[in-house]
Structure 1
Amino acid sequence: MYRIYIIEDDEKIVSLTKDKLERYGYIVSAAKDFSNIKREFLEVDPHLVLLDINLPNYDGFFWCREIRTVSNVPIIFISARFSDMDQVMAIENGGDDYIIKPFSFDLLLAKVKGVIRRTYGEYKQNDSKDIYEVEGLYLYRTQNAIEWHNNKIELSKREFALLYILLSNLGDIVSRETLLEELWDDMDFVDDNTLSVNIARLRRRLEDLGIKDAIETKRGQGYSMVKTW
């Protein structure tokens, strides 16, 4: 069962969110000591964090950075702040998604399910091993890291997920639509160039390992990974 840790100082929001998530089978804990969020996080060891920005003592951006020093757990910001800059800061400080208050529970549940599915579901449920290997190229699921010829580098979570999907379909074309749907919850807020940027970053990371031209662009269709290592 998945554990969710809510870092929110509005008791009414906490109570309502906790009650509704528990109805769907999640184990939900709420922050109690806002001066020791990092310690509480380690004690709870959650699978997902719901994080407000306006908090006592330190804001949510600070605690997101602190959590990122010890964990890659998915973090969804939930805040009344609606400016583009706040959302950009949330992502740049380590957040995975952003929901603006007031929000519908259906939206929150969809976001929670989507993040958990991508992080713990489809990429792992069919293989209990933490290491995925294709002809000498190793993917370390719990570390978001890849290794080839004893050279090991760490990827961002999205880069790793992108590589995993392409590698799982080695030699086949994966459509842009499929990749967008798998990697982003709300495609309405994803610029058409976003996927291209992430593909370019992944290509550079593979080149850091000495693997070149492994990801081919199929114009009008999508991308295909071919074995060049």
Structure 2
Amino acid sequence: MYHIYIVEDDQQIRRIMADHLERYGYRVTWAENFETIKQEFVAIQPDLVLLDINLPLYDGFYWCRQIRTVSNAPVLFISARTDDMNQVMAIENGGDDYITKPFHLEVLLAKVKSALRRSYGEYAHARDIQQTVRELDNLYFYPDRNELVYNDAKLELTKKEFLLFQRLAESPNVIVSRDELLETLWDEVDFVDDNTLSVNVTRLRKRLQELGITNAIQTIRGQGYRLDVNWGGRSS
């Protein structure tokens, strides 16, 4: 079942679209908070986005660019703007297609099917083209390339640095024992000096400082470490 994310602030239009798509077996989620579209996208990992241009706070062009930093999922613009320039801007900002309002629901359905087929079906090379990405407090991390992105700054970690960060991020604000972290980083734990873990944690702290994130990894004496996920509220 393909998952479709609708970003449309007109409640009647999004309800009509959702009802029609659900009738044909699609799973539909629509945006409620127009300040956190990118975070919501990452959280639900939809297969396709239906995106209006006229939105509160930021327009659809902005949100399409944000989505493109974390995913290759097809984005179909839906707008009452019929001029060529807006259609050109939609494509230049990362959109895959453009549907003008008012539209027939069968046209919408056909374009959705076509986009999904190109991206994931018979015309796609592989379904895994969509990047794997997670998000914590506006920090995005990519397990497929050991990379962190925060405030548009990118940081490439070593394999062990990323494994350490990822394990802590799996349990944000929760203590992870030293034994668990040792097992995450090394297969033969019995042959690893306990001080080696401390060295790796110190190195990861220094790498995070390159993104302006300080004091995120807390040492809990006698127990382990905790990732304090509140860097968005700190000054660097």
| TM-score, normalised via structure 2 length | 0.53
> Which residue of structure 2 aligns with residue 148 of structure 1?
none
5+ residue gaps, structure 1, are 131-140, 144-229
Name the aligned partner's letter for residue 120 of structure 1. Y
> Which residue of structure 2 aligns with residue 59 of structure 1?
59
1:129 Cα deviation from its structure 2 partner = 8.7
> Which residue of structure 1 aligns with residue 34 of structure 2?
34
> Which residue of structure 2 aligns with residue 120 of structure 1?
120
Quick one: distance in 1 between partners of 2:116 and 2:53? 21
> Which residue of structure 2 aligns with residue 16 of structure 1?
16
Correspondence 1:96 to 2:134? no
> Which residue of structure 2 aligns with residue 111 of structure 1?
111
Aligned length: 131
Quick one: distance in 1 between partners of 2:54 and 2:64? 12
Which consecutive segments of 4 or more residues in structure 1 shift more than 6 A? Answer: none
Residue pair 2:4, 2:47 contacting (<8 A) in 1 also:
yes
Quick one: distance in 2 between partners of 1:26 and 1:56? 26
Quick one: distance in 2 between partners of 1:11 and 1:129? 32
Alpha-carbon deviations, 1:112-162, whole Å to 9, x = none? 0001011111035xx8796xxxxxxxxxx557xxxxxxxxxxxxxxxxxxx
Quick one: distance in 2 between partners of 1:142 and 1:26? 19
Larger Rg: 2
Indicate how the Cα distance of structure 1 residues 142 and 51 shifts in structure 2: closer, same or farther if over 3 A, else same. closer
Indicate how the Cα distance of structure 1 residues 129 and 52 shifts in structure 2: closer, same or farther if over 3 A, else same. closer
Quick one: distance in 2 between partners of 1:98 and 1:128? 24
Summarize the alignment of residues 58-77 of structure 1 with structure 2, pairs less than 5 Å apart: 58-77=58-77
Quick one: distance in 2 between partners of 1:102 and 1:120? 28
Correspondence 1:46 to 2:73? no
Indicate how the Cα distance of structure 1 residues 142 and 3 shifts in structure 2: closer, same or farther if over 3 A, else same. closer
Name the aligned partner's letter for residue 64 of structure 1. C
Quick one: distance in 1 between partners of 2:112 and 2:29? 15
Quick one: distance in 2 between partners of 1:80 and 1:128? 34
> Which residue of structure 1 aligns with residue 81 of structure 2?
81
SS at match of 1:122: coil
Alpha-carbon deviations, 1:41-91, whole Å to 9, x = none? 111110000000000000000000000001011000000000100000000
Quick one: distance in 1 between partners of 2:51 and 2:65? 12
Residue pair 2:4, 2:48 contacting (<8 A) in 1 also:
yes
5+ residue gaps, structure 2, are 132-236
Name the aligned partner's letter for residue 32 of structure 1. E
> Which residue of structure 2 aligns with residue 191 of structure 1?
none
Indicate how the Cα distance of structure 1 residues 78 and 142 shifts in structure 2: closer, same or farther if over 3 A, else same. closer
SS at match of 2:38: helix
Quick one: distance in 2 between partners of 1:63 and 1:106? 26
Quick one: distance in 1 between partners of 2:127 and 2:94? 26
> Which residue of structure 2 aligns with residue 5 of structure 1?
5
Quick one: distance in 2 between partners of 1:118 and 1:63? 22
